[in-house]
Structure 1
Amino acid sequence: MGNNQLQIALPNEEASLKLRLQHILHSENLQDQRTLLTTLAAELAVNVLDCGAALLHIMQQDNDTSSLATRNRLNHPPSSTPIRVDSRVMTTCISEPHPSTDIHILEPVLPSGYVMPTVKMLRYRLDIGKKHQLTVKELKKVLVEESGVDINNINNVMIHGQYTLIELPDEMPQDIFQHLKTVEISQQKLNIKRLKSRTKKQANNRFRRGKPRVNQRSDDDSA
């Protein structure tokens, strides 16, 4: 019975794999992957087909390992302990040790809607807003096309009347930054600018406020 189930499942997996491959081949630029595969094959002194087959084997092994870990979690319900990360409470699930390994696995479970930051983000200001009929969808589309930024790294878009605030990756190349200054949407240049952090502004304000108090104290002493 187990063999019959395996024989039935394999064609479905193969069909799913073919669909995913077809989608990637038609929608993604794979030049970097082709170059990497060719380089690996040359360094290993094998042909590209054998190298690709070995990579597929590694992927299948990783998938089998992931499936085994999932089954272990289902068989051993985790205990949960709340901890605080980035001023938010998340739950850390510590699974029971597997009988054959006696190893505890620490797995974070994030609150619904929480996105763990993966890159350092910086706040930017654009000289375009609601007055220019700007939409979030259109802005993200233009930024992806003109700068190559991952759409998932375009965060916290706040469109105001005359301008827009947005978060983008901090380490933006200077040539792309200068290019985005000249990019237009509805004949309005983005004129992108980096914003100073709130901490720096507060520090500068405290320094400026401190001077008059020192001068006033000197005047009192002279009187």
Structure 2
Amino acid sequence: MSAIPVEPRKEDKFKRRLQRVAREQDLSRQRDLVQRISADLNIDLLTCAAALVFMNQPNLYPPLKRQPAAAEADRALPPQYKMARYRLAVGSQHQVSRDQIQAVLVSESGVDKKRIGRIDIRDTYTLVELPDGMPADIFQLLAETEIGSQKLNIKRIKPNKFRQQRNVGGEENGG
């Protein structure tokens, strides 16, 4: 079993929710379903449970760092344009993914996908870097845009606030 660091607060919260559900709910049908899925997919129960945890809490652990291929290294260079940081009122509790957020930003604002910077999905909100100088009409459109019936309610944040939020617990997550 590998020891991958997780934000203790997130793990504790997840354990408490899990314990409460296990104690208060009749899970017999869900247990049968997990056993059927495990058998149908030819995977062990622990792997099935781990996949279900990942589907429910994709941001519980920081993403694994991988070395970019040579072709990707060029694209991973820092942008040559000024970026601004924004807070979106959607997070992992709203079951949004990085791809969904990126797709909405591209389709609604017209920003080039390559010009979208870091997307840091938290429990109840997301921090994202976008090109500086967003027109007011686009900003208003994004504020009203929804992902899964949750308004983005975009707000620009100050750079130092972004750093403080990312460094809670002393370590950066995501990116």
The TM-score, its normalising length taken from structure 2, stands at 0.49
In our comparison, the structure showing a higher alpha carbon Rg is 1
Greater helix percent: which structure?
1
Could you say which structure has the higher strand fraction? 1
